[in-house]
Amino acid sequence: MVKVEVISKERIKPSSPTPLHLRSFNLSLLDQLAPRFYIPLLLFYTAKDSNHLLQTNQVAQKLRTSLSKTLAIFYPLAGRLKDDDTIDCNDQGVEVFHARVDEHLSEFLKKPHMEVLDQLVPGESFCTRSGADVPLAIQVNSFECGGVAIGVRLSHKIADGTAMAEFISKWAATARATNEAMDTTLVSASIFQPRSSVSSYLYPTSETIVTRRLVLDASAIAALRAKAAGHPTLESPPTRVVAVSALIWRCFMKAKRDKGPTTVSVSTHAVNVRGRMRPLVPESYFGNLWVATITEGVMISECNGDMQGVLEKQLGNAIKAVDSDFIEELKGPDGSIKAHEGMKKVAENYWDSDVHLCHFSSWCRFPFYEVDFGWGKPIWVSICTIPIKTSAVFIGRRWDDGMEVWVNMEADEMAKFEQDQELLSFVRIP
């Protein structure tokens, strides 16, 4: 097994102090509802210089200086979460770990093991309830060949995937010393007013979670869409994400079917609301601007080939329901009721043994493959284990329109899932 050894740790603070009037940052309603876990991300880069020691030192210095400057703009990330309502923007800084990996990057990427990927990102998956949660942690991993993997964990209580991409892109632009505008807009609590007695809906699961990476070529996705398009219940072909989500959902249900008393399956999908608001909100808005849709229930006992098209319609309708009218209701005086009812329904299903709840989130449009700190773009982007059972995260590929799907399941269900013949007719499991 590859050895990952943390050799140093330092705390990086903003390059300029946060003004006193900005020291207390109020979380929005959508921040309050966000799950209490860290979003993981790994960016892998090949060596640019044959002098590995020189490159390692240069990389560390460039990342250190540029992160400090970037934190002056994204100042809540250098603070501490006090509770479900507030970030204390006290400039305590971000912990950056430096680790050494005893293998060449090219060898590692031939078959990356989940146990090692988990070691390349710092800290724990879930936030604590201690009131001292750090919003952000970073780990710079140096391979024997001089290759680098930058591991990030960002608290979902502060930001969503779109915001994470915005922060990392700005950090990289600073490292390249470009003239790109460094200002950003932090999502104010005035957009989605926070409410009392509102909190996160997802917490750690006690079951052992196993993660697998599924690879879908562009041709496989096209075949999935074409197969569903012929179903009479669909007015138009499903999107790439909906088509793949339906396949995974169907195989999730088949893996669950013989396990126990669960009878009904429902699915949630994370939907970015920036482009659905009126007026439109720029993608550069930093914070949580997403909602979780939830489909109608499907009987697991009826999960078979005849369901082709049914799940695609369920998912498509749930996503389309998040329109400007829905968002305006969230912003209104009864928004917390509407939002919390939806999240509460998700939470109740999550813990209800009679309901099979599946989670989907697409990162396919996030520009992680464009993140260049000055030594080129990443050759691979990945995540690691997310301890949310029966969940899947989609990430686009660098060289084509295919995607990788990171699936998290209980161990016994995963054993059935990864042997599903319908699944294996469309995906590869490296």
DSSP string of 213-251? EEEE-HHHHHHHHHHHHTSTT-SSPPPHHHHHHHHHHHH
Tens-place pLDDT, residues 76-106: 999 999 877 899 999 999 999 999 999 999 9
Tens-place pLDDT, residues 181-197: 677 788 767 778 777 76
Mean confidence (pLDDT) of the chain: 87
Contact 1, 116 (CB under 8 A): yes
| Global pTM value | 0.92
Contact 99, 148 (CB under 8 A): no
CATH code for the domain defined by 4-186:
3.30.559.10
Give the residue among 137, 177, 149, 150 at the shortest CA–CA distance from 37.
Answer: 137
Q: How far apart are CA 70 and CA 181, in angstroms?
A: 11
Q: How many CB atoms lie within 10 A of CB 237?
A: 18
Residue 309 binned pLDDT confidence (cut-offs 50, 70, 90): confident
SS3 302: helix
User: How much is the average pLDDT of 325-330?
Assistant: 80
Domain boundaries, the chain: 4-186, 209-364+379-424
CA 94, chain centre distance (Å): 20
Q: Is the pLDDT of residue 233 over 90?
A: no
Which is more confidently placed, 126 or 350? 126
Check residue 131 and give its pLDDT.
Answer: 45
Check residue 330 and give its pLDDT.
Answer: 72
Fold matches, 4-186 and 209-364+379-424: yes
Which runs of consecutive H residues, i.e. helices, occur in 239-334?
A: 240-256, 310-320, 324-331
> Sign (positive/negative) of CA torsion 156, 159, 163, 164?
negative
Tens-place pLDDT, residues 287-296: 999 988 888 8
Verify whether residue 359 is a known catalytic residue.
no
Check residue 3 and give its pLDDT.
Answer: 95
- What the block records as the tokens of 358 is 């599946």
User: How much is the average pLDDT of 406-415?
Assistant: 95
Which is more confidently placed, 397 or 51? 397
- What the block records as the tokens of 395 is 């990430």
Check residue 308 and give its pLDDT.
Answer: 75
Residue 51 binned pLDDT confidence (cut-offs 50, 70, 90): low
Check residue 130 and give its pLDDT.
Answer: 47
Q: Which residues contact 320 (CB under 8 A, 6 or more apart)?
A: none
Which is more confidently placed, 301 or 317? 317
Tens-place pLDDT, residues 237-264: 899 999 999 999 999 999 988 776 668 8
Cα-trace Rg, the chain: 21
Q: Is the pLDDT of residue 344 over 60?
A: no
User: How much is the average pLDDT of 333-340?
Assistant: 55
Tell which CATH architecture fits domain 209-364+379-424: 2-Layer Sandwich (3.30)
Out of 88, 118, 372, 412, which one is annotated catalytic?
Answer: 372
Verify whether residue 52 is a known catalytic residue.
no
Out of 84, 98, 156, 356, which one is annotated catalytic?
Answer: 156
Give the residue among 230, 250, 228 at the shortest CA–CA distance from 239.
Answer: 228
